[in-house]
Each structure stands twice: as structure tokens, then as C-alpha cells.
Amino acid sequence: MKIELLIKPRWIITVNATNQVLENHAIVIHQGQIIDLLPATDSQRYQAEQVVELADHALMPGLINAHTHSAMALLKGLADDLPLMEWLQEHIWPAEARWADANFVYDGTQLAIAEMIRSGTTCFNDMYFFTDASLKAVQKAGIRAALGMILIDFPTAYANDPDEYLAKGRALHDSVQDLPLITTLFAPHAPYTVSDQPLLKLHAQAQALNVPIHMHVHETAHEVMQALTEQGERPLARLNRLGVLDNHFLAVHMTQLDTSDITLLANKGVHVIHCPESNLKLASGFCPVADLLEAGVNVALGTDGSASNNDLDMLGEMRTAALIGKAVAHNANAVSATQVLRMATINGAKALNLAEVTGSLEVGKSADMIAIDLGSIEALPVYDPASHIVYCTTRDQVRSVWVAGKCLMNERKLLTLNETELKATAKAWQLKIGEFA
């Protein structure tokens, strides 16, 4: 059979239902999909246009960054070492008010995508303004993306009121229906920035369009205490009262949870997006990941934006999630390497309603894959490649990246984006923004 691509790595980390790791196997790609996984010695049954030999490499599903603000790559390091509300209100929101427009979003999103590809991310879930500009950047790069249709109560350069935010979101949704790598979801910012009536309108539209809702929730103790003082109920309880919590709801951060909250999340099928490094840097608190997993909640992983992380490195995020998860649970068995690998791949796909398309290396799924070099001095010896990727691997070991069978990076060289141009653009923005910082 004639095919487009045959890859022969040392290991294939499938992240399938049994977390199977295949050694000395080949993966067969045709028309952007995985059509076979078989022993490398049997691969001669296929006649490939391209054969890629990857000795000492692990091939695994591309990482899914389930929560980020990509354009904020241009604000990386602008206001470090501050608590969340001071960081937002006194630094980030003023900077966005001055600079955030379509050009800012296009350039920042391109820069972020380049970093994500070089870090092994093949799909990201974005929450930001000027999504038409984000879409252009995504299409140029060839990465998979879920673009958030943002909503807040107050006016910005992007929209004047909730109705305009919703209208622009619907226009974006309609415009991407024929784009196989792009999906949409609603992205109301947070309970403290979106009031009841706009949120109810958004929920009705989300149900009509069958798209998820993605929202910061219970990010800090201050947020919860403020809601109790002003509204007499916790933000999660308010969202439940409004009827918006279900298996299409993605709750981001979730550092302030009690037992009843966890039970509610499990009963409603809510997905939790864990952003450990951003939570640490802003001293927001700790998401009880082990308790959530034990309760059956689907937990995925995100980096948050570069302005509060300060990188988009999902490999680093995995290691941090595993280590913090153990410390918070006081249990070395908690938040295992296998669980964290799933959080960074198939769990993200489930949250984004993409589990039938991506998130694992299985026949019938899109060929969204990354090759990681485990043959260097720093990586050897290798006893368990899956565990090794969580605890002993850096993004510099990501050698090649494919989305839907198309190679976006080969041997660390970006193939769809121009690194020289991106560096020049980033430096130009640094001069402009830095002058007023």
C-alpha cells in the first residue's frame, strides 16, 4: 500500500486507554491520519513517500495546552513578582488598554505559537481579544487551536458591551466551520468580570452551537471571599445556580476548592484545567489535583499566559504538576507520571471535545505527534520512557513536530514560521512597550 509517511522511533508512547508503550514499532500516516501501528519489522508492507528513522527517540501525542493567552507572549516579564489582582489591575490591564489591537495579537500569537511548537505543543486553547488576528496566526503556523470567544462586562478596544462580544464570537465561530484544525469555545473571563445576564445569554448560545465554555474560576482566595461578601455565595455555587456547569464547562485554575466543590465538579462532569506554574508565580494557591482525579474529574493541563508563567513549556508544566501534586497530597504515589502525561494530552483533548481527533496515537486519529530525543547524555539511561518524559526531559529535546501529518518542525527548525522575522518583531515590540513600562 502506498502511503505518505512512515516513522520508526525507538518507542511509541500511545497514551491509549491502557497507556501502552510500544518498542521498535512503526507508525503509518496517510492523508494526515494514523492508519496503522505495527512492529517495525513488518513495515515493508507499506510503500512510503517518506520514511523517518528515529533511533533513541520517543514518539508521543503532541501536547495540548488547555489554557493560555497566546498574545501575551509580548508581555512576558513585564510585571513580575506581584499578586494576581495588583498584577492585573495596575500593570497588565493598563498595558493591554494601551497596546492590545489586531497587530499586537497577530504578532504575539505568532511568537507564542513558535515557542509552543518548539516545546512540543500541537494544540492550544486560547483566551484573548481580536480573535480574527489569532486565527490568521494559527493558520499561518499550521497548528491546531481552540479559539476562545471572549466575554467580559466592560468595554475594551475589541468590543463595547456584552452583546458586541457575543456577536463577534458568533462571527468567529461561523467563519471557521470549514477549517479542520480550528474549533471555538466561549471564553467568559471570570465570575468577577461577567454578570448573570450576559453569562446566561452566552450559555444559551453555547448550547445552541454545541461548544464548550472556558472560564477562570476560584483562582484565588480573594476571589472567593469577595464573592461571599458581595453575593453571599461562592463563585462555583453561583455558576451552578445559573445552570452553566456541565460536561462542556472548563474551569481554569481552581485553587480554592473544598470537598463539596469537588463533589459538585464530579457530579456535573466539569473539566478542570490546572496551571501549576502560573498559580505558583502569582501565589494563587494549590489545585487539589489528586483529590480531583480520585473523584473522577477530568483534569487537563495549561500554562496560562507568558505574562504570568513566564513560558509556554508544557514539558516543564508536566514536571511541576507532578511534583506539586505529590506535595499537596502528602503522597509520593499521587499525580503519577502516567496521570500527568494524560493530563497534557488526552485529558486536554477530552476537555476541548477533541478526543476523537487527537490526544493519543491510535488508528483513525489525526497524526498530531512529537519526537523527543532520549539518546543524549542528559537523558541516559532510560528505563521507563513515559516516566522519563515527565521527570527528566526538557523542551530542547523535542526534535520534530507534526500536526495532521504535516511537519511543523524538523530537527528544531521551524518550517512554517520564520524565526528571524519573529525575533525582529519581538524586539520591536520590546522597544515600544518597554518605553512606557
- Are both 129 and 197 inside the same structural domain? yes
On whether both 171 and 253 belong to a single domain, the answer is yes
As for how many domains the chain has, the answer is: 2
* Residues 44 and 92 placed together within one structural domain of the fold: no
Asked if residue 151 is part of any domain, the answer here is yes
Count of residues making up the chain = 437
- Does any domain span residue 414? no
381 occurs within a structural domain:
yes
Comparing CA positions, the residue from 347, 436, 421, 380 lying closest to residue 140 is: 421
424 inside domain: no
Same domain for 310 and 245: yes
Instruction: Render each residue's pLDDT in the chain as its tens digit; 437 residues.
Output: 999 999 999 999 999 999 999 999 999 999 999 999 999 999 999 999 999 999 999 999 999 999 999 999 999 998 899 888 888 889 888 888 899 999 999 999 999 999 999 999 999 999 999 999 999 999 999 999 999 999 999 999 999 999 999 999 999 999 999 999 999 999 999 999 999 999 999 999 999 999 999 999 999 999 999 999 999 999 999 999 999 999 999 999 999 999 999 999 999 999 999 999 999 999 999 999 999 999 999 999 999 999 999 999 999 999 999 999 999 999 999 999 999 999 999 999 999 999 999 999 999 999 999 999 999 999 999 999 999 999 999 999 999 999 999 999 999 999 999 999 999 999 999 999 987 65
Pick from 320, 323, 304: nearest CA to 312: 304
Q: Are residues 18 and 106 in the same domain?
A: no
| CATH number assigned to the domain comprising residue 188 | 3.20.20.140
Would 415 be classed as within a structural domain? no
State the DSSP string of 366-397: B--EEEEE--STTT-S-S-HHHHHHHS--GGG
Question: Can you read off the three cell numbers belonging to residue 396?
Answer: 530542547
Q: What does the CA dihedral 272, 346, 117, 433 come to, rounded to 10 degrees? A: -10
Q: Hey, is 63 helix, strand or coil?
A: strand
Q: The domain spanning residue 42 has which CATH number?
A: 2.30.40.10
Residue 410 lies in a domain: no
Residues 25 and 89 in one domain: no
105 located within any domain: yes
Do 223 and 299 belong to one domain? Answer: yes
* DSSP H/E element including 275: none
Same domain, 235 and 300: yes
Query: Cα separation of 40 and 313, whole Å?
Result: 31
Residues 130 and 202 in one domain: yes
- Domain containing residue 16: 2-61+366-404
Cα separation of 165 and 253, whole Å? 23
What is the Cα–Cα distance from 80 to 341, expressed in whole angstroms? 29
Instruction: Clarify whether residues 13 and 86 are in a common domain.
Output: no
Q: Is 129 in the same domain as 207?
A: yes
Q: Which residue among 316, 351, 386 closes a domain?
A: 351
Segment holding 429, helix H or strand E: helix 419-436
Flag whether 188 is in a domain.
Answer: yes
